[in-house]
């Protein structure tokens, strides 16, 4: 299939491009580079072994330019990664998050339907479950109250896409609810490249390990978990990328609406991650216990059985692979991608 990949220069999109080409698909990337670097696309092309990835530096909200891209290319489906994703920033700038994520998706869907491309895979998030009613979280678990505008954009866009599919059954909509994406491509050439101080655990750990930050703050050790620190379902980004290729097969089978948790089904605490990182990589990660971070929940991991049963997808990589590949990326690229 020929796939439109919005946000393809970003962390998850860049890894997904590799899996798409490995499975025999082709892709065209649309990204405004607001949170990414074109060097990622250059490296992706090198890994795949092609000259370049077709790329348009375009903002999804630019209706006219998106139209022109659809006139130039014929797409079988869209994998829609583009969006703003920083939880804390979304609390400070709610308008910007709603405007970018929701308008961007509405424009995209409008142009898609006008051009008869009615297949979309949407990057949703475990955050739509709020403080989950049950652990492990299945797709039957009710959606909850999000604690920030970012989360609400995901929850609302799930609803928008489902309503559009119900009104026009020609659509196939796959909602992938990612748990905690981490790790990097085994080559160490592409990985997560956060701007400024990382918000998320894994890039913080790797930046401490490489000497860019003094110590990791562990946000709370009094949660009702085995060691008191927060427990999450960390999923290797290469596994996550592969889930999108499997989701394309669901689209080919005309799935209508498909909702899937994408996680490993295993929960690891903050200290499990730190200790695995130290053990596997032989590098120290100084840390100290800090107060809880507002909005955090104690435990979040999924039951990934539905994705296994219906998409024939399951995670292949474990915690040791995750910490090894995260470190391999960070130490080869201590300052992330070079400035362009
Ligand atoms: P990322 O920021 O690395 O990638 C997103 C890409 O979208 C960036 O390259 C950015 O430049 C681009 N973009 C943003 N707004 C755009 C617009 N209006 N037009 C065109 N391009 C635009 O993020 P990621 O970690 O790769 O996440 C990809 C998707 O998965 C996002 O939708 C994110 O919300 C979702 N998600 C991420 C996580 C996570 O922890 N990384 C977890 C759950 C869901
Ligand atoms: C993991 C654990 C922290 C940083 C976020 C979003 C979620 C999804 C994935 C997009 C928690 C602890 C972290 C640090 C720490 N994104 N921690 N010190 O919060 O589970 O999920 O990313 O959809 O919506 O909320 O991920 O990596 O920030 O935190 O102790 O410096 O690590 O308290 O227990 P989170 P995270």
Q: How far is the CA of 279 from the centre of ligand 1 (A)?
A: 31
pLDDT score recorded for residue 97 = 98
**Ligand 1 contact, 34 CB (< 6 A):** yes
| Residues carrying an active site annotation | 150
**Ligand 1 contact, 85 CB (< 6 A):** yes
**Ligand 2 contact, 27 CB (< 6 A):** no
**Ligand 1 contact, 8 CB (< 6 A):** no
**Ligand 2 contact, 177 CB (< 6 A):** no
Q: Shortest CA distance to 77 belongs to which of 242, 254, 238, 239?
A: 254
pLDDT score recorded for residue 216 = 98
Residue 240: nearest ligand to its CA? Answer: 1
Residue 63: nearest ligand to its CA? Answer: 1
Q: How far is the CA of 109 from the centre of ligand 2 (A)?
A: 30
What residues contact 260, with CB distance under 8 A and at least 6 apart?
A: 139, 174, 175, 176, 177, 243, 247, 306, 307, 310, 311
3-state secondary structure of 214: coil
pLDDT score recorded for residue 34 = 98
Q: Shortest CA distance to 307 belongs to which of 213, 239, 220?
A: 239
Nearest residue (by CA) to ligand 2, atom 9, is: 180
Is-contact 137 301, C-beta < 8 A? yes
DSSP 8-state secondary structure symbol assigned to residue 219: E
Nearest residue (by CA) to ligand 2, atom 22, is: 180
Q: How far is the CA of 181 from the centre of ligand 1 (A)?
A: 12
Residue 65: strand pairing partners: none
- What average pLDDT values come out for the chain (340 residues) when binned by 10 residues? 98 99 98 98 98 98 98 98 97 98 98 98 98 96 96 98 98 98 98 95 98 98 98 99 97 96 98 98 98 96 98 98 98 96
Locate tokens 């929940």: which residue? 297
Minimum-distance ligand 1 atom for the alpha carbon of 35: 11
- State how far the Cα of 119 lies from the Cα of 97, in Å rounded to an integer: 24
What is the DSSP code string of 222-234? -SSSTTSS-EE-E
Residue 9: nearest ligand to its CA? Answer: 1
Minimum-distance ligand 1 atom for the alpha carbon of 100: 18
Residue from 11, 124, 179, 219 whose mutation best tests the ligand 2 pocket (most atoms within 8 A of CB): 219
**Ligand 2 contact, 199 CB (< 6 A):** yes
pLDDT score recorded for residue 57 = 98
């Amino acid at each position: 299939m020929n796939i439109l990949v919005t946000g393809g220069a970003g962390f998850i999109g860049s890894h997904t491009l590799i899996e798409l080409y490995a499975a025999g698909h082709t892709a065209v990337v649309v990204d405004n580079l607001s949170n990414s670097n074109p060097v990622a696309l250059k490296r992706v092309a090198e890994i795949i072994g092609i000259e370049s990835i077709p790329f348009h530096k375009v903002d999804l909200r630019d209706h006219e330019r998106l139209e022109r891209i659809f006139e130039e290319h014929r797409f079988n489906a869209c994998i829609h990664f583009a969006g703003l994703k920083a939880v804390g920033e979304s609390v400070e700038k709610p308008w910007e998050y709603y405007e970018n994520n929701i308008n961007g998706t509405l424009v995209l869907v409008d142009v898609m339907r006008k051009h008869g491309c009615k297949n979309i895979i949407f990057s949703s998030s475990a955050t739509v479950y709020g403080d989950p009613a049950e652990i492990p979280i299945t797709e039957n678990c009710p959606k909850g109250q999000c604690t920030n505008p970012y989360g609400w954009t995901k929850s609302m866009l799930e609803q928008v896409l489902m309503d559009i599919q119900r009104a026009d059954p020609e659509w196939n909509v796959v909602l992938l609810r990612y748990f905690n994406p981490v790790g990097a491509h085994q080559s160490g050439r592409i990985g997560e490249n956060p701007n400024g101080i990382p918000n998320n655990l894994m890039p913080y750990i790797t930046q401490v390990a490489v000497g860019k930050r003094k110590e990791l703050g562990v946000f709370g050790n009094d949660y009702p978990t085995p060691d008191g620190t927060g427990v999450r379902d960390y999923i290797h980004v290469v596994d996550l990328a592969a889930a999108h290729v499997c989701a394309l097969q669901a689209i080919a089978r005309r799935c209508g609406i498909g909702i899937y948790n994408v996680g490993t089904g295993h929960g690891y605490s903050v200290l499990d991650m730190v200790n695995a990182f130290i053990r596997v990589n032989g590098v120290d990660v100084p840390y100290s216990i800090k107060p809880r971070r507002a909005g955090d929940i104690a435990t979040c991991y999924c039951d990934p059985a539905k994705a296994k049963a219906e998409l024939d997808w399951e995670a292949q990589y474990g915690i040791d692979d995750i910490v090894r590949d995260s470190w391999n990326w960070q130490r080869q690229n201590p300052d992330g991608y070079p400035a362009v």
